[in-house]
Structure 1
């Protein structure tokens, strides 16, 4: 497994990773109606990423065939917008390595606070890395209520992952 910068031609496969993560990991935490509403957001992801990827740092984890199995990005203000991992790599060291790259880049950019809106599954990942839950949020997706967590981490060289 290798981690590299994300490219525009990765976007269709990132969309596939998004779907697999929701459909295979999501049922542990969300109802079928919630998953169906969430999965419809793939079109948003595939529309937004071509516009924003050139202006943010994004990484993919790939195997020998160079096909993305995970995607993570960092906006210039320290916000983590997208983080999805195919179930075959979710919870493995590769996602931790991707996050370590993100934190190192944030420090290089002088970012002192990271933030995200984490799903129920991603919440645990971020908490293990020092993020605090600010609040649980109920949001509407296509007429269906679903929740996530507003989270943040104050980032200084002393709090960064080694």
Structure 2
């Protein structure tokens, strides 16, 4: 009989998760973005977690979800306001195991439930294909300066489906 693969689960962010999520953030940037960003750009980008307390405050101030495999965090995503994915990062060891899709599905459902008609994200070059496959459309190209380094990303937008009205049983 075949063994079943462990299922990815979601849970809400807790302040004690901050160090682990900072490590996932850094590993994701340093190991997954080398084809699109220079080492200097990666280091500048990863420096966003240098102030761990500020990073934790950012996560706590948004709707942040954590994806876990066998009770170990492997990714996280946050919804800023009702209609913007601020962060979506998966540890390199968990790429292509469904964590990013599960996180994105959850944020899309939560945004729709909160009344958002669409969802936007400022997407790194290496994540653009993932979002395109999910129905996001590029709306503008951006450059941001982080610690003296220019980083390019693309604002992408997805129109969220309108849920069918529920009919009360008669």
- TM-score by length of structure 1 reads 0.87
1:111 matched to 2:116: yes
Q: Runs of at least 4 residues of structure 1 off by over 3 A?
A: none
Tell me if structure 2 keeps the 8 A contact 1:12–1:46: no
- TM-score by length of structure 2 reads 0.83
Alpha carbons of structure 1 residues 4 and 150: separation in structure 2 relative to 1, 3 Å: same
Q: Of 43, 57, 81, which residue of structure 2 is paired with 1:36?
A: 43
Superposed CA RMSD: 1.8
Q: Distance between the aligned counterparts of 1:26 and 1:51, measured in 2?
A: 23
Which position in structure 2 is the counterpart of 1:96? 101
Q: Distance between the aligned counterparts of 1:52 and 1:40, measured in 2?
A: 16
How much has 1:52 moved relative to structure 2? 5.1
Deviations 1:65-118 (A, max 9, x none): x33110001122311111111011223322211211111111211111111111
Q: Which has the larger radius of gyration?
A: 2
Q: Distance between the aligned counterparts of 2:120 and 2:72, measured in 1?
A: 28
Q: Distance between the aligned counterparts of 1:36 and 1:51, measured in 2?
A: 20
Structure 2 unaligned runs (5+)?
Answer: 1-7, 164-170
Q: Of 4, 15, 21, which residue of structure 2 is paired with 1:8?
A: 15
Structure 1 unaligned runs (5+)?
Answer: none
